[in-house]
């Protein structure tokens, strides 16, 4: 009878949806005007409650576009089913049904045309243990969650029917949070240190698994030694997490170092890069936005020539006699025109 009266009211009454829209009771009577909203033009809601079933219907221009149904069951478990239907596109009607038990979602089903996607959750003592995903009844993936004695998540395993096995690990300590993710052939390790940097490292099956070496010195500075390509690099961070020094200790760039200085607020003031090899020493200084590069050529450990390059592309060449500077030659930005010669 209620639905009959409601249908009659829809057929005989003209709602002024252009000026305003309203909430109505179960027989379609206006009971509350809804403030105008830009994303809900020319529409109105109908709320229906019948015992353990509640419905919310959204109409636009007299056409039902969205419907939400909440059905509750009483018993040993508190069971509630929430179904959301979207009719805005008649050719692609979508329906999402979620089943809750004691407040936790145990399954989510999404219907779209002939496709059905399902997620099924398993709990123990209200803690999630696994999630299973299916498409049209066929298993797509299975995720298992590993926890320690207090329920904290320490790892997870993802098995996909069309992909590799994925494993993730989580670890916590007083001064570090670490995360590892990967497959059987490659793993990525990420660690966040207390008052320190974010450390990332990739382990591969070939040429083998190599983990970064991490320690602290007597002053509390964090020291990380790891490979980047073929170079073994030792990086030092202060207690505030600022990078202080990078030293290339092995590999093709052995002898290269970069030192950084900061102000009290942690802003970078300057950096100095030194590249050493048997015949040349290159120093790059950056200060207050200006880059200065210097190169020094040696023979048997004795300086014979040095070049300093400035931000305006001019340069000064200094020549040495048995290790002692005796003349400075200033060149223009073209590197050929001599601007001045000064003997010492």
Report strand pairing: 21-24 vs 43-50.
parallel
Mean pLDDT of all residues in 261-289:
73
Mean pLDDT computed over 275-300: 70
In the prediction, which pLDDT does 38 show? 52
pLDDT at 16: 39
Confidence at residue 201, expressed as pLDDT on a 0 to 100 scale: 59
Q: How would residue 99 be classed by pLDDT, with cut points 50, 70 and 90? A: very high
pLDDT at 14: 38
Which has the closest alpha carbon to 305: 283, 321, 285? 321
Q: What does the pLDDT read at residue 50? A: 76
Residue 156, pLDDT > 90, answer: no
Q: pLDDT for 210-260, tens place per residue?
A: 556 777 788 877 788 877 777 888 888 887 777 889 899 888 888 888 888
Q: What is the pLDDT at residue 212?
A: 64
The confidence score (pLDDT) of residue 34 equals 67
pTM of the model: 0.47
Give the pLDDT of residue 195.
62
Measure the CA–CA gap between 10 and 31, rounded to whole angstroms: 15
- Alpha-carbon distance 236 to 217, whole Å? 9
Alpha helices in the chain (DSSP H): 2-12
What average pLDDT does this structure show over 148-170?
79
Of 87, 138, 132, nearest to 115 by C-alpha is 138
Kindly report the average pLDDT of the chain as a whole number.
76
Per-residue pLDDT at 17 exceeds 50: no
Residue-level pLDDT at 25:
57
Residue 229, phi-psi category: left (phi > 0), alpha (psi -120 to 50), beta (remainder): left
What pLDDT is recorded for position 107?
93
Percentage of the chain lying above the pLDDT 90 cut: 9
Task: Supply the pLDDT for residue 8.
Answer: 33
Mean pLDDT to the nearest integer, 13-32: 55
Using CA atoms, how far residue 180 sits from 110, 166, 183, 186, 192, in Å, is: 32, 11, 10, 10, 12
């Amino acid at each position: 009878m209620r639905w009959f009266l409601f249908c009659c009211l829809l057929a005989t009454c003209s709602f002024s949806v252009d000026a305003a829209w309203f909430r109505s009771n179960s027989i379609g009577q206006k009971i509350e005007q809804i403030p105008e909203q830009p994303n809900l033009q020319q529409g109105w809601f109908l709320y229906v409650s019948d015992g353990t079933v509640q419905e919310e219907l959204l109409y636009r221009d007299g056409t039902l576009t969205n419907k939400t149904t909440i059905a509750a069951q009483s018993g040993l478990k508190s069971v509630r089913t929430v179904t959301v239907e979207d009719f805005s596109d008649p050719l692609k009607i979508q329906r999402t049904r979620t089943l809750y038990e004691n407040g936790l979602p145990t399954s989510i089903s999404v219907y779209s045309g002939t496709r059905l996607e399902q997620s099924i959750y398993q709990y123990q003592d209200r803690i999630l243990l696994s999630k299973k995903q299916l498409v049209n009844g066929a298993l797509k993936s299975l995720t298992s969650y590993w926890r320690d004695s207090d329920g904290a998540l320490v790892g997870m395993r993802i098995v996909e029917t069309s992909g590799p096995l994925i494993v993730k690990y989580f670890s916590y300590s007083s001064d570090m949070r670490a995360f590892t993710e990967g497959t059987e052939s490659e793993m990525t390790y990420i660690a966040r240190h207390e008052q320190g940097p974010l450390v990332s490292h990739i382990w591969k099956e070939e040429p083998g698994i190599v983990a970064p070496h991490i320690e602290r010195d007597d002053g509390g500075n964090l020291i990380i030694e790891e490979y980047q390509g073929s170079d073994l690099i030792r990086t030092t961070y202060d207690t505030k997490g600022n990078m202080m020094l990078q030293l290339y200790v092995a590999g093709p760039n052995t002898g290269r170092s970069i030192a950084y200085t900061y102000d009290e607020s942690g802003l970078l003031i300057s950096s100095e890069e030194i590249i050493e090899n048997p015949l040349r020493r290159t120093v790059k200084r950056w200060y207050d936005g200006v880059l200065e590069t210097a190169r020094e050529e040696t023979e048997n450990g004795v300086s014979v020539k040095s070049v300093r390059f400035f931000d305006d592309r001019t340069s000064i060449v200094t020549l040495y006699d048995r290790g002692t500077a005796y003349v400075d030659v200033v060149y223009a930005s073209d590197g050929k025109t001599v601007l001045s010669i000064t003997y010492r």
